[in-house]
Structure 1
Amino acid sequence: MSRRKKTAKKQRAVKRAGKRGLRRASRRNREYLAWRHLTRNQKEVAKRIWAGDYQKIGPGGGWGFLDRFVIFMKTIGFLECLDVAGEGYVRRMITIAKLLLTYQVKVLLGIISMNQVPGTLFNDIGLLMMLGYTAEQIENGHCKRGKGKNNRPMNKNTLADALDRFSPEELEGILNGGVKLLAKLGFIKDTTFLMDATDLPTTGKCEGAGRRTVDKKVWSRKEKKLVTISVTTFGFKLMLLRSLDSRIIVAAKVRQIQESEKDWTLALVKQAAENIGEKKIRLLLIDRGYLDGLTLWTLKHNYGIDWIIPLRTDMNIAKDARGLRNTVDAKKIFRAQRKDLKVVGIAGLASYDQYGNEEHQEKDFNAKDFRGNPINVVMVTHWKDKAYEPGHEPVFLTTLAVSKPLAILDKYDLRSLIENQTNRELKQGWLITKIPKKTQRAVTAHAILTLCMYNLTNAYRTDMGQELAESGIRRFRRETSQQTRDKIVVFTEEHYGIFDLEELMFLVGKPSKWFSRHVNAEAFKKAHGIT
């Protein structure tokens, strides 16, 4: 190669390097890394409209609910919890907190599919600006590659792919941070808590999914009888610890579907104690899946937590309790009944061999000198129209006194709230099983971010009165949508305001002849500081 060609090649390389440097510098200084929160200021925005100096007008939509809700999240400091590192990101074109909040709003609005996001969430200019997107970002996206393309403010896949970029620890940190804030502000005053688990099924192609195979009896049309078949389910398991009255998820874990709940009981309780404070949990109403002698002993003797849990039908202590159904012992056996329920409380049974500390677990349970630790049980002999035959009675284990056994059953009946109000609502109302990307990280991120919004909504609804507290999230979406159909949101550089259509027409100088709400024009100007 001649000297002239070598020189020309070197000059081209220097020129390319210079362009790369300029691009990198522009990326470092670009405004898309800033996340500004707009504040609501009716008077200031009204003055700007009157003067013809405003930036954007957005139609009524998702902001009808989020107007006050975002203020609530900002006031309690939850937005700071979203400021995680995002260890899976190399380039950060969008602030991590804004990306996470955008996905949480997608969950809150009940958007089932990521394909619906461009036409709903990304089409609501008012809502996007309220979440911190600038007009430039909404029009042209967050980088030069998005300019001129119909994927603004970002591609829908960017939002879905974000779920795969965060570690489970980062996501759990967001949930735990939110719970700590709510506890500090007095939203969680409960002493009774509920513990349960629910499946998050996926396909076998989901990366990191677990696999569980169980035998199930089904009716065979061919054989005209019940037959046993093996059923395999792929996916994950969501384990929850929820407060009874405030309905706040105080701790949660997402694990593979075949993992046992009992292996995570103490981890959930420890995390809950860290989030809401030591000694706050006085009573746990636990699902049978968490049954484990060492764990139950630790809850009572190390943490001071009482508990109620149903026994498996084949356990020795359950069989012993059924054998005492007709026994009379005024000091240890207590009977009670009411119209639809008959129960028997039995104190001090010692046939739950596994109930004890770690040293106890090392003993030979079959040895002649083995002695079990005493524990109380409650047995149901009649419920509604069903009288249980001897040997088939449901039996519950508890550390509480059983001299009034009906009270034990009444307490445990409250555990059904986590199945009806939480698990069902999460699946049907909050769409927690509608996962946009089939990877373990994405499942964890989707589940945890959904739980965050579930918690914040329950806390927010306490300020909305009893009517709102009793309505589910699906009904709330319908109601707020109807309430905000005739509203317009107007943005300036720093503020936004929400006005009726007739108020807006008055401010732009084209008023209707009458205000339908009988608002005097001069009074309206005075209230909004317009001279």
Structure 2
Amino acid sequence: MALDRGFLDGKLLWAIEQDGIQIYIPAKSNMTLTKEAREMARRAVAEAAQGRTLDGCVVRERHQKVTRGAGKNATEQTLTTTVVGIRELPCDWWTEQGSTSAANSKTFQSKLLRATVVLRWDGAPKGADKEVVLLTTDPANDPFVAFDKYDDRSLIENSCNREAKEHWFLEHHPKRSEAGVRVHAYFVFLCMALVAAFRLHKAKTDDAERRGQETGITRYRRKLEMLNRDKLVVFCGESFGIFRSWEFILLLGVTVRERAVMGETAQTVLRRYGVELPDPGS
């Protein structure tokens, strides 16, 4: 579950974790553990530059090539993302009771979280007081796991929630009741999904038309004919059955060589359709 800073409440996060849900949430800049995580990350990078490692930290980089512009003006850039994973970061407010004075007790044991500090995001370095610190309960050792999980949240926020509010009137529910809001939300997201599916389908058919391929109802009918060209409809009174041509021929008592090699007989055809004939020897 990827959350924003508005849900940064230790009691709530503890309750979510008890349901076995992995959490990804950014820490606030004014928190003590945020400052500690940033300091550890910078020390880890400094150690890595000298070929050493800092205990409890792992430094990772990802390089992604992107193309800017088009045609003869196109240029290729390499964007670097640098993250530092911290294995055990003490947190004294992520508890069943939340932030309490019990954290000042000598016997108090802080919860140990994993953290991912983003020092550089797609080539853009962050300031010392703006580096994103992602807190997580995910046990993965690779810090990019938490980074990617949280980054996926932006897709939901921008292409789903914001789109629904701005262009699909999600916030203008017709009835001010829980049932009314639920029905309206389901209907809005269902319509969004249908439109997205239609646009994807249209993009494929448009691309096929540009390549000279047949599309539309003509292609559909030809495909339907191809799938059913070896089938027969047999009527008997008010009942009917749909058989493949070779199945019907076998039922007429004629041997079909290719199917006989595969062990097909009239009995196997009837058995396939749930008909059991009495054993001649009984």
Tell me how far apart the structure 1 counterparts of residues 21 and 83 of structure 2 sit (CA, whole Å): 24
Match of 1:345 among 67, 71, 85: 85
Structure 2 CA distance for partners of 1:427 and 1:455, relative to 1, 3 Å: closer
Match of 2:129 among 383, 391, 415: 391
Amino acid at match of 1:450: H
Match of 1:315 among 8, 15, 31: 31
Q: State the identity as a percent.
A: 31
Please show how residues 77-116 of structure 1 align to structure 2 within 5 Å: none
Tell me how far apart the structure 2 counterparts of residues 330 and 403 of structure 1 sit (CA, whole Å): 15
Could you list the per-position Cα deviations for residues 65-117 of structure 1 after superposition, in whole angstroms to 9, with x for gaps in the alignment? xxxxxxxxxxxxxxxxxxxxxxxxxxxxxxxxxxxxxxxxxxxxxxxxxxxxx
Tell me how far apart the structure 1 counterparts of residues 116 and 158 of structure 2 sit (CA, whole Å): 24
Counterpart for residue 110 of structure 1: none
Match of 2:94 among 355, 359, 362: 355
Instruction: Give the superposition deviation at 1:288.
Output: 1.6
Amino acid at match of 1:319: K
Structure 2 CA distance for partners of 1:385 and 1:443, relative to 1, 3 Å: farther
Counterpart for residue 426 of structure 1: 164
Instruction: Give the superposition deviation at 1:334.
Output: 0.7
Amino acid at match of 1:344: V
Could you list the per-position Cα deviations for residues 444-502 of structure 1 after superposition, in whole angstroms to 9, with x for gaps in the alignment? 676433312124335656986842699xxxxxxxxxxxxxxxxxxxxxxxxxxxxxxxx
Instruction: Give the superposition deviation at 1:290.
Output: 1.2
**Do structure 1's residue 405 and structure 2's residue 129 form an aligned pair?**
no
Instruction: Give the superposition deviation at 1:319.
Output: 0.9
Preserved CA contact (<8 Å) 2:173 2:184: no
Counterpart for residue 214 of structure 1: none
Amino acid at match of 2:112: P
Q: How many aligned residue pairs are there?
A: 181
Please show how residues 111-126 of structure 1 align to structure 2 within 5 Å: none
Tell me how far apart the structure 1 counterparts of residues 132 and 165 of structure 2 sit (CA, whole Å): 29
RMSD, aligned CA: 3.1
Structure 2 CA distance for partners of 1:458 and 1:313, relative to 1, 3 Å: same
Preserved CA contact (<8 Å) 1:430 1:450: no
Partner of 2:139: helix, strand, or coil? Answer: coil
Counterpart for residue 291 of structure 1: 8
Instruction: Give the superposition deviation at 1:405.
Output: 1.1
Instruction: Give the superposition deviation at 1:386.
Output: 2.5
Preserved CA contact (<8 Å) 2:10 2:95: yes
The structure with the larger Rg is: 2
Preserved CA contact (<8 Å) 2:60 2:82: yes
Preserved CA contact (<8 Å) 1:376 1:398: yes
Preserved CA contact (<8 Å) 2:93 2:100: no
Tell me how far apart the structure 1 counterparts of residues 203 and 150 of structure 2 sit (CA, whole Å): 23
Tell me how far apart the structure 2 counterparts of residues 308 and 343 of structure 1 sit (CA, whole Å): 15
Tell me how far apart the structure 1 counterparts of residues 197 and 186 of structure 2 sit (CA, whole Å): 18
Could you list the per-position Cα deviations for residues 204-238 of structure 1 after superposition, in whole angstroms to 9, with x for gaps in the alignment? xxxxxxxxxxxxxxxxxxxxxxxxxxxxxxxxxxx
- Structure 2: 5+ residue stretches without partners: 48-52, 64-79, 205-282
Tell me how far apart the structure 2 counterparts of residues 449 and 463 of structure 1 sit (CA, whole Å): 21
Flag the structure with more relative contact order, 1 or 2, with Cα contacts below 8 A and sequence separation at least 6: 1
Preserved CA contact (<8 Å) 1:288 1:312: yes
Counterpart for residue 191 of structure 2: 457
**Do structure 1's residue 442 and structure 2's residue 182 form an aligned pair?**
no
Q: TM-score, structure 2 length as denominator?
A: 0.55
Preserved CA contact (<8 Å) 1:378 1:396: yes
Tell me how far apart the structure 1 counterparts of residues 141 and 22 of structure 2 sit (CA, whole Å): 16
Preserved CA contact (<8 Å) 2:164 2:189: no
Instruction: Give the superposition deviation at 1:434.
Output: 4.3
Partner of 2:128: helix, strand, or coil? Answer: coil
Instruction: Give the superposition deviation at 1:415.
Output: 0.2
Instruction: Give the superposition deviation at 1:295.
Output: 1.7
Tell me how far apart the structure 2 counterparts of residues 452 and 345 of structure 1 sit (CA, whole Å): 38
**Do structure 1's residue 305 and structure 2's residue 21 form an aligned pair?**
yes
Q: TM-score, structure 1 length as denominator?
A: 0.31
Instruction: Give the superposition deviation at 1:316.
Output: 1.2
Instruction: Give the superposition deviation at 1:317.
Output: 1.0
Counterpart for residue 102 of structure 2: 364
Preserved CA contact (<8 Å) 2:5 2:27: yes
